[in-house]
Amino acid sequence: MTDRSDENPEKTAAGGPSPLALLRAAREQLVELTGLYPESLPRLERTDEGWLLEAEVVELARVPETMSLMALYEVTLDPDGLLTGYRRLRRYERGRSDRR
């Protein structure tokens, strides 16, 4: 049995941030920059420059909730998990199905 008490769940075996640490860092940075809190992070992908992820946020809350205006943002991170850019890919009502 291996003692894992010295392992850091925030780092991978190669020493870089773990996927979970990347998602947490991206979420915190996006909230700080935009004021929008991601409800979901449906995509995380390693790229040559670092990481790419997508974040789904509520841009305008409405009643009923199914009429809230949602947005999908693309977020780019460097290899260490620092946000290098973001852009809105699309906006849609929460109750609408995806047409992609």
* E strand residue ranges, 1-100: 38-46, 51-60, 69-77, 83-93
Instruction: Please provide the size of the chain in residues.
Output: 100
Say if 82 falls within a structural domain: yes
Say if 55 falls within a structural domain: yes
Instruction: Flag whether pLDDT at 6 surpasses 50.
Output: no
Overall average pLDDT of the 80-84 stretch = 95
Instruction: Flag whether pLDDT at 98 surpasses 70.
Output: no
Domains held by the chain: number: 1
Tens-digit pLDDT profile for residues 30-68: 999 999 999 999 999 999 999 999 999 999 999 998 899
Please tell me the pTM assigned to this model. 0.80
Domain holding 69, by residue range, is 23-93
